[in-house]
């Protein structure tokens, strides 16, 4: 039996963090690679059950931007329920709905929603830094920005109701994506024009893997700033809106 035989595709590890070319011991992975797999799997599971640092995020947003910040919750009562009942994570609870209605919001160009999703770790690590790149770009162009909403136990579609109640033309939700074995802290951004209850995924544009090891904050903010301007001008989003931005433009 050959032990720890080198994999002929090992050079590909120079180009991707994907779990390829890990070698073998007989018909199995080498012990070291098996232990790394188990550690990455545990890290991904931990990310799913991680908790949103609401107070830290609230204070950071409030002290940095000249914007109101609201704390909201979905109808989910616990993390186990969040995983078992995705539908409850798509709607805000009565207390949060009351908060938004009492805002008596005027019309705005955009509403930012920040939700834990399937990896609160991603939001804890990346949401503020990303917004610190994007919001100043919008403020420089005189975009009218609604209160920023932090949502606990939220799914993507929860932004539709929030954006509608705050009378925003566009809503963008930053949310922790499903953890991968090499990316437990990946953040996604979903953008919707004319948000309202009942919309489905074809109505949204998605920019995913926002993190330093993926699409970094500056590149992600440039990409999303482009999409937001396209949506504002063309008044469409989702599958109707084609991303014609050349990535070389933001390099």
Name the more confident of 242 and 166.
Answer: 166
Q: What is the mean pLDDT of residues 141-158?
A: 97
Q: What is the DSSP string of 182-227?
A: S-TT-EEEEEEES--TT--GGGEEEEEEESTTSB-HHHHHHHHHHH
pLDDT in tens, 99-138: 999 998 899 999 999 999 999 999 999 999 999 999 999 9
Domain boundaries, the chain: 54-250
**Lowest-pLDDT choice from 65-79, 133-147, 168-182:** 168-182
Whether 65 shows a pLDDT value over 50: the answer reads yes
Closest residue by Cα to residue 105 from 57, 68, 160: 68
Q: What is the pTM of this model?
A: 0.87
Pairing state between β 168-176 and 187-193:
antiparallel
Provide the mean pLDDT of the chain: 90
- Distance, in Å, from the CA atom of 151 to the CA atom of 91, rounded to the nearest integer, reads 10
**Lowest-pLDDT choice from 15-19, 106-110, 163-167, 178-182:** 15-19
List the Cα angle 207/191/128 in 5-degree steps.
Answer: 70
Predicted pLDDT at 2: 46
Q: Give, in words, the CATH class of 54-250.
A: alpha beta
CA distances from 216 to 129, 205, 212 (A): 10, 18, 5
pLDDT class of 10 with cuts at 50, 70, 90: confident
pLDDT class of 9 with cuts at 50, 70, 90: confident
Contact between 154 and 115 under an 8 Å Cβ cutoff? The reply is yes
pLDDT in tens, 76-100: 999 999 999 999 999 999 999 999 9
Whether 251 shows a pLDDT value over 70: the answer reads no
pLDDT class of 1 with cuts at 50, 70, 90: very low
Highest-scoring range by mean pLDDT, 12-21, 25-34, 63-72, 182-191: 63-72
Binding residues: 156, 177, 206
Q: What is the mean pLDDT of residues 215-227?
A: 96
Binding residues for adenosylcob(III)alamin: 156, 177, 206
Whether 33 shows a pLDDT value over 90: the answer reads no
């Amino acid at each position: 039996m050959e032990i720890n035989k080198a994999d002929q595709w090992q050079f590909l590890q120079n180009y991707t963090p994907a779990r390829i070319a890990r070698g073998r011991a007989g018909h199995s992975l080498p012990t070291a690679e098996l232990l790394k797999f188990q550690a990455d799997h545990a890290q991904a599971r931990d990310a799913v059950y991680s908790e949103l640092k609401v107070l830290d995020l609230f204070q950071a947003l409030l002290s940095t931007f000249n914007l109101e910040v609201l704390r909201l919750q979905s109808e989910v009562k616990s993390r186990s329920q969040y995983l078992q009942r995705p539908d409850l994570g798509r709607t805000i609870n009565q207390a949060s709905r009351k908060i938004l209605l009492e805002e008596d919001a005027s019309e705005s160009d955009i509403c930012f929603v920040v939700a834990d999703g399937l990896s609160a770790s991603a939001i804890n690590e990346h949401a503020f830094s990303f917004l610190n790149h994007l919001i100043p770009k919008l403020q420089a162009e005189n975009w009218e920005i609604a209160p920023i909403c932090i949502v606990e136990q939220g799914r993507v579609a929860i932004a539709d109701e929030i954006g509608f109640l705050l009378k925003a033309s566009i809503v963008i939700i930053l949310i922790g994506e499903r953890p991968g074995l090499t990316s437990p802290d990946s953040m996604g951004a979903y953008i919707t024009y004319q948000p309202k209850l009942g919309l489905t995924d074809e109505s949204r544009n998605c920019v995913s893997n926002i993190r330093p090891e993926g699409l970094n904050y500056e590149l992600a903010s440039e990409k999303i700033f482009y999409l937001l301007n396209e949506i504002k001008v063309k008044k469409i989003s989702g599958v109707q809106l084609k991303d014609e931005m050349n990535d070389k433009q933001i390099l």
